[in-house]
């Protein structure tokens, strides 16, 4: 089943249709996405952290994070990709070990960032490429062929331009990444430029004003993630409902369908 999911997940990125990836933070949200018809799920590190009372950014213990990922994988029958941020370590060997531990849970892929949590700059290009290459080799050596490495390129967070973004994306693919994820990429011409110049599936995340999967497909995007948007919507609904119930001292709104 695990290997079938790995192959299935990879193929979803090479379909004629765009892969709309639902992002879950617990088994309940994962089951809701599966029931709605989503073909694959990604975990949201921000949603997982906030649901446990922490901020995003590797603030929770990695073993706790793995436990949540495992509960999500075990709750659904569709492929799951795990967001492990920048790997939960500063040490390359430890990051690779964390990737293998994540793969052992039965996930079909991971999301890995190039922005370590202990520094303001991106990981040096050569070092990150070496990390991705070693990661791919370790996965292959442990039987995880076709395992999807979605390399997140954080250049736009650092106010770096499109040229640097494309250069890093190309280098990551050459080093073993299956696809690239570029947060904050939102202009049509820039999305099209990345899709045309990088020879791997492009993933973008939902943002205000960047919401139409049909349009993104035409621009060359292969994967469109909800990111933390569904969790944020749920959190806002929960807070508003709780506030209204307390203010009115009336629970009737909880039964409106």
Span 5-21, pLDDT tens digits:
999 999 999 999 999 99
The model's pTM is 0.95
Quote the strand ranges of 76-157, DSSP E.
80-83, 109-113, 148-152
Query: What is the per-residue burial (b if ≥16 Cβ within 10 Å, else e) of 82-96?
Result: bbbbbbbbeebeebb
% pLDDT > 70, the chain = 99
CB atoms within 10 A of CB 48: 25
Report, at the CATH architecture level, how domain 2-228 is classified.
Answer: Alpha-Beta Barrel (3.20)
pLDDT of 1 above 60: no
Q: Does the pLDDT of residue 174 top 80, yes or no?
A: yes
In the predicted structure, residue 75 carries a pLDDT above the cut 90: yes
Give me the mean pLDDT over the 197-209 stretch: 97
Mean pLDDT of 196-210: 97
Element (H, E) at 84: none
Q: pLDDT tens digit string along 97-145?
A: 999 999 999 999 999 999 998 888 999 999 999 999 999 999 999 999 9
């Amino acid at each position: 089943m695990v290997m079938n999911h790995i192959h299935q997940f990879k193929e979803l990125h090479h379909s004629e249709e765009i892969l709309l990836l639902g992002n879950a933070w617990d088994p309940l949200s994962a089951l809701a996405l599966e029931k709605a018809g989503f073909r694959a799920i990604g975990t949201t590190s921000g949603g997982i952290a906030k649901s446990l009372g922490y901020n995003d950014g590797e603030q929770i213990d990695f073993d706790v994070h793995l436990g949540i990922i495992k509960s999500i994988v075990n709750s659904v029958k569709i492929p799951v990709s795990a967001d492990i941020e920048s790997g939960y370590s500063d040490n390359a060997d430890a990051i690779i070990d964390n990737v293998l531990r994540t793969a052992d849970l039965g996930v079909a892929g991971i999301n890995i960032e190039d922005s370590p949590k202990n520094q303001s700059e991106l990981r040096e290009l050569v070092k990150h490429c070496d990390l991705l290459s070693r990661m791919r080799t370790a996965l292959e050596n442990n039987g995880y062929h076709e395992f999807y490495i979605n390399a997140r390129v954080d250049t736009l967070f650092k106010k770096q331009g499109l040229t640097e973004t494309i250069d890093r994306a190309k280098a990551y693919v050459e080093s073993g990444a299956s696809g690239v994820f570029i947060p904050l990429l939102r202009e049509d011409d820039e999305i099209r430029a990345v899709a045309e110049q990088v020879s791997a599936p492009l993933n973008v995340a939902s943002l205000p004003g960047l919401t139409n999967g049909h349009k993104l497909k035409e621009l060359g995007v292969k994967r469109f993630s909800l990111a933390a948007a569904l969790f944020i919507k749920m959190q806002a609904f929960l807070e508003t409902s709780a506030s209204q119930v307390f203010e009115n001292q009336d629970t009737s709104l909880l039964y409106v369908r």
